[in-house]
Structures are given as C-alpha cells and as structure tokens.
Amino acid sequence: MSLIETNQHDNHAESKSSPLGGVRGGCISIKSPATVANLVCGFDILGMALNEPYDIMKLKLIDEPNVMIINKDNYNLPTEAEKNVAGVVLLEIIKHNNNSFGFEVEIEKRIKPGSGLGSSSASAAGAAVGANLLLNNQYNNDELVQFAMFGEKLASGVKHADNIAPCILGGVTLIRSIHPLDIVQLNSPSLFVTVVHPQIEVKTSDARQILRKEVLLKDAIKQWGNIAGLVAGFEKGDTGLIGRSLEDVIIEPVRSILIPGFDAIKSQSKEAGALGGGISGSGPSIFMLSEDETTAKKAEAIMQQTFTELEIEYKTYVTKIAEKGVQLIS
Amino acid sequence: MSLIETNQHDNHAESKSSPLGGVRGGCISIKSPATVANLVCGFDILGMALNEPYDIMKLKLIDEPNVMIINKDNYNLPTEAEKNVAGVVLLEIIKHNNNSFGFEVEIEKRIKPGSGLGSSSASAAGAAVGANLLLNNQYNNDELVQFAMFGEKLASGVKHADNIAPCILGGVTLIRSIHPLDIVQLNSPSLFVTVVHPQIEVKTSDARQILRKEVLLKDAIKQWGNIAGLVAGFEKGDTGLIGRSLEDVIIEPVRSILIPGFDAIKSQSKEAGALGGGISGSGPSIFMLSEDETTAKKAEAIMQQTFTELEIEYKTYVTKIAEKGVQLIS
C-alpha cells in the first residue's frame, strides 16, 4: 500500500488478522479500551491499555462512500464525519479503498472526553480496528495505527500514537519513533491500576502549551535513566524497578500544578504501598500502579477522600493493565 | 556500613562473593576490561564491557596502611597513591578498614589512557574488585562501584559509573540513578564489537564542555524513544531493534566534530551490515556492533582505511561484549 511510511521489520507488532478473523458484510460490536499515555517518565513514547473503562462501537458496511454516525451517549459529539474522531479515520479508510463503500457506526462512549484516558484514541482506534474486521483484516497493526492517528490529529492537532498503539495492541507499548513508525510491544506484568478522573477541565493543548521548549541536559539525563529503568522493569517483570523508575523530573512538575490534590494523592498512595504513578496523558486523571488489589483499593480510597475534601466531583476505577487492545464482542 | 548511600533492593546487582571466593593474605592477578560508555543514545546511563583490551593488575596486602604502586607499562602514570586512579580507590578502602592494612599493586595498562575505552575505570574497578578479593569479598557490587567512583572522580572530576558498572559487572549495564546508586544489569546479546582508537587526543573535560546545557524537548523525546528502544532491544535480544535505536540526536552531532573520519566510518559500517555504533565514551574511539564476525571485520577494514587515508595512527580491535567484568586470573 502506498498510504503511509511504515517500517517493514520482522519483529514488529504483528497483525491481529488470525485471532479475530474477518467478518466482511456483517455488523460487528467491539469494545475499545481506555489508555494511559506517558506512564510518568515516558512522555510521548509510552502507553498502556486498561481493562476499564472502555467504549462500545457497532460498525457495518454500507454501499455509499459516506460515514453515518449515531451517538449512543450524552456527550453531544459531532455526527458530521469530518468533525468526528472516528469519522475521519473511517473516511481515510474509505478513500484508501477508492470510495467503494462506506460505514455506519454507533458509538457509545463510556470514556469521558477530556479525561486524559485516551477517549479520542478509543474512538479512533476502535474505528480503525472495527473497519478492518469488516474488511477481512486487510491492514496490519502499523497501518491501523497510521489510520487511527488521523483521529488523534483531529482531536489534538498532532499525530500521536502513545494512546493509539496500546489501544490497538493492548498491554504496554513503546513508540520508539513516529517517523518512521516504530512500535514495540513491551512485556506487561499483571499490575493493578487505580484511576481517578476529577471532573475538572485540562485541555491537551493547554497542557502542552505550558511545557518549556527546552530542558536542562542534566534533567534529560535523569529522565532517560528512569525511562530505561521503566522499560527494563517491564521487560524483566521487576516491580521494584518499575516503582523506582516512575519518576518524572520534566513534565510532571509543570503539569501537576493544573491538578489540585495531585501531590497528596501521589505521596499518600506510595506510602500505602502503590508502586508509583502520575498524570494520565495530559490529565486531569491520575493513575497509580499496585501489585495487588488491596493496595489498589487503598489508593482509590485516598483519591476519593482527597477530591471529596476538595469538593471536586470525581470518578474512580480499580482495574488492571489490559492484555488485549480493541476486542470483538459480537 | 556507613560509607555510602546504597540502595538496598532485592533485585540489585548481586555480590560476586561466591563465584570468586576470597583469598585474604595472598597475591592475586586480575584482568580488568575496557568498557564502552554511553552506547550512542544512552549518554551517562549505559555502558558495556569488552573482552578486549584489558589491563592486568597484581595486588597484595601489606601491613602498613599505604598504597605502593608499581607501573608495568610505559604510560608514566603517577605512582603517588593520592594522584593515581587505582591508588585513591585503595586508599578509600584502607580508610574504611581503619587503616589496619595497605596494598601493593602492580599495574600493566593495556587500555591506553585517553582512548575513550574506560582506561581509568579499568584501574579503579580493578583496584576495588582486587582489594575485595583479598578481603574475603566483604563488599557487595554496589559498594565496589562506590569505591571505584573515587577513581573516576580523580580522573574526570565527576563520579560517573557508566564505565565502572560494566567493568565490575560485565555485560551491558544501566545506571538508572547515581544518587542513590541504582544499577541494573541488562540482558546482553552475543554481539561482536569493532573498535578503533585513532591516536588523537580528546579530553573528557573538553568533550563535556562543548555540550549545550539545554536541549530541545523534542530532541530529548527522540532520544528517550531511542533509549527505550535500545533497552527493550537488549532485553528481548532483538538485534534489529538495537540497530534502529542506535541513534543519538543530542550528543553525537556535537562531539563527532572532534573526531575526523567519524561520519564516513559510521555510514560505511552500517552499509556493510553493522547494526550501528558511535563514539565510545567521550571519544576519540569509535565502536560498531555487528551480529557476526565477518561484518565486524568489514567494519574494521573500513576503520583502517579511513584513518590510513587521514594519516592518523590508530589501533583496532574486533572483540565481543564481555559476559563478565573484572576477573581473577590467578
């Protein structure tokens, strides 16, 4: 295919074609998971998929080369395809197939837009994987990521893959490079994830705006020591090393200012036994990793208490790192 | 011990006490390997040990709390303990043992000082490990690294561990953090290493001086993508990923200016099939990684031709990543 600059490597993320199978012509339901991008020190390069929350999407092929969008939630997202994250992804796929068909898509968003939990990526990745299932898996995962990034572009102005990749592949993923695309699936230990989404607004564009364009070399060195430690920790399944490496000296000190309660939640959760954690994506959600459910629930209680005292509405999840990305339900 | 801020973690670099055994009171010979620090993108955090070249050191305990140094080479290094890299390490160990003994040490340096191949680290690490063997392995590896860093401090003014750690532990090591010390041994695939040492002088302090104190965030992100890829590549034994990740957008573009022939050697070696490579430490040595000896020798021929044409004296090595660090010979 001429579409995109993909890297053709042997040991790349493999196509999911075989396990899911193709269902051309039918109607399918999928679930598309929430994702945590950055993973503290891995700004713009690391991400992981969660078991919960997830969006539900139903897709079917139609004859006309259009995208019909039906929203099954109360978020009032645009139904015009060009303005909808799932819509632009499907339009690209239609265009790439010479406008020989179109899609009808029902979207039930359960991942709240603006939560920092990869809501737009879930729509974009769900659209790409769903369409591919209807097309007998004609695209490999790298190509699906490329299509889904059109949705990220619409949502945030930038073609990121740090939510898209784990949403499609599951587990913990590394985006070594965007140009050319080089996605590496990391080993992901069976960890619990506690998430709190305080109902405040932090726009991705604002969260990016407040970052300095230059960083001190000595801080960058600290950061890449931690990133290297985190990747080694995941690969070795060494939870102690993961915990010690969950430190961000560059982004978090700036962005955490936008999230009331952040410092208290982080320090108290670690005291309660959590391995560590930080801002999910560009916030405002906060996540903590734990080795067991008891600790994960202690972190949840700390989050609940903190935002209750701050009189900020919130929603919490105690879940796990998802082994799989977008999945066929029926 | 009160000496040093060590991190007491379960899965730390383990003490070598059992395999080597203690030889208190005797006289021992060890070999201490050359090391390549930085590994292209891993500035200040990654390093690897080489099978060749290596220094040979003989140590024995003496009654007086002094260090007697005998040089068995032609480098005219200081024999006054306070001014000698091995000497200061041994003095620290003597001090830590209440001045109850001293050391006599013979040093035959085969790793040329100023080569960028960890010559001072070989002396410092060899002194620490050798002394420890004579002291029934009373120190663990973290402590040995701490002692050896006194030698690095004398040599370069800074307490680095990116040569010291692989010199002591062997293989490929990550220094996640210096304060507190956190060393992670990475899996190291059985790769060939071609090294050329052009006989020009690049002082570590100069090589550090020319670096910018600030770096662009977007460059830092590229760099940590590559570091993450390199660590994942080592852990997975994925040589393709190692090759793609051997890219440095921050340090190499500046430092390589100090090394004539660098760009030609790098690009031609990669064309000849090498995975990649770059400056060893702060230079002037250049290294290339290859999957097989034939390719490693092609890289050597390219290095030889380049420096012959430039009329610069050089020395080359075709060797492998060393599985072990400092080793007892007799």
B114 lies in a domain?
Answer: yes
pLDDT in tens, B167-204: 999 999 999 999 999 999 999 999 999 999 999 987 76
The answer, yes or no, to whether residue B33 has pLDDT greater than 50, is yes
The answer, yes or no, to whether residue B17 has pLDDT greater than 90, is no
Q: What is the pLDDT of residue B156?
A: 85
User: What CATH number is given to the structural domain containing B310?
Assistant: 3.30.70.890
* Cα–Cα nearest to A130, from A26, A34, A52: A26
**B141/B277 same-domain check:** no
A8 lies in a domain?
Answer: no
Q: How far apart are CA B245 and CA B295, in angstroms?
A: 19
pLDDT in tens, B196-225: 999 998 776 777 788 999 999 999 999 999
B8 lies in a domain?
Answer: no
Percent of chain A with pLDDT over 90: 87
A6 lies in a domain?
Answer: no
Q: Please check whether residue B117 is in contact with residue B49, taking contact to mean a CB–CB distance below 8 angstroms.
A: no
B17 lies in a domain?
Answer: no
Decide if the complex's ipTM is over 0.85: yes
Q: What is the pLDDT of residue B25?
A: 56
Is B330 in CB contact (< 8 Å) with chain A?
Answer: no
In 3-state terms, what secondary structure has residue B208?
helix
Tell me whether the omega of the peptide bond preceding residue A33 falls within 30 degrees of 0, making it cis.
Answer: no
In 3-state terms, what secondary structure has residue B86?
helix
A125-134, A153-162, B57-66, B146-155: least confident range: A153-162
**A144/A274 same-domain check:** no
Q: What is the rounded radius of gyration, in angstroms, for the C-alpha atoms of chain B?
A: 19
B254 lies in a domain?
Answer: yes
Q: Judge: A176–B241 Cβ closer than 8 Å, yes or no.
A: yes
Compute φ and ψ for A165, nearest 5 degrees: -60, -50
On chain A, the residues whose CB falls within 8 A of the CB of B226 are 176-177
On chain A, the residues whose CB falls within 8 A of the CB of B39 are none
Q: Please check whether residue B61 is in contact with residue B67, taking contact to mean a CB–CB distance below 8 angstroms.
A: no
Is B75 in CB contact (< 8 Å) with chain A?
Answer: no
Tokens at B207, concatenated: 């090589």
Nearest residue on chain A to B213, alpha-carbon basis: A217
**B69/B104 same-domain check:** yes
Mutate which: B8, B182, B231, vs A, most A CBs within 10 A: B231
Choose among A184, A213, A240: nearest Cβ to B229.
A184
**B127/B229 same-domain check:** no
Residues of A with a known catalytic role: 152, 204
Range of the domain at A113: 27-186+323-328
Most confidently predicted of A3-7, B207-211, B244-248: B244-248
**A37/A181 same-domain check:** yes
The distance of A35 to chain B (nearest Cα, Å) reads 19
Compute φ and ψ for B211, nearest 5 degrees: -75, 145
**B31/B161 same-domain check:** yes
Name A187's Cβ contacts closer than 8 Å, sequence gap at least 6. Answer: A171, A172, A234, A235, A236, A237
In 3-state terms, what secondary structure has residue A294?
helix
Q: How far apart are CA A197 and CA B168, in angstroms?
A: 46
Percent of chain B with pLDDT over 70: 92
Q: Judge: B225–A11 Cβ closer than 8 Å, yes or no.
A: no
Q: Judge: A174–B229 Cβ closer than 8 Å, yes or no.
A: yes
Q: What is the pLDDT of residue A214?
A: 95
Question: Is B79 assigned a catalytic role?
Answer: no
A125 lies in a domain?
Answer: yes
Choose among A43, A175, A214: nearest Cβ to B216.
A214
**B53/B177 same-domain check:** yes
User: What CATH number is given to the structural domain containing A75?
Assistant: 3.30.230.10
The distance of B237 to chain A (nearest Cα, Å) reads 11
Is B216 in CB contact (< 8 Å) with chain A?
Answer: yes
Catalytic residue among B152, B252, B291, B300: B152
**A214/A170 same-domain check:** no
Q: How far apart are CA B169 and CA B145, in angstroms?
A: 9
pLDDT in tens, A127-175: 999 999 999 999 999 999 999 999 999 998 888 899 999 999 999 999 9
Nearest residue on chain B to A175, alpha-carbon basis: B225
**B58/B160 same-domain check:** yes
How many domains are contained in chain B?
2
The distance of B75 to chain A (nearest Cα, Å) reads 33
**A169/A262 same-domain check:** no
B261 lies in a domain?
Answer: yes
**A271/A290 same-domain check:** yes
**B37/B65 same-domain check:** yes
Mutate which: B217, B230, B251, B252, vs A, most A CBs within 10 A: B217
In 3-state terms, what secondary structure has residue A207?
helix
Q: How crowded is residue A212: how many other Cβ atoms within 10 Å of its Cβ?
A: 12
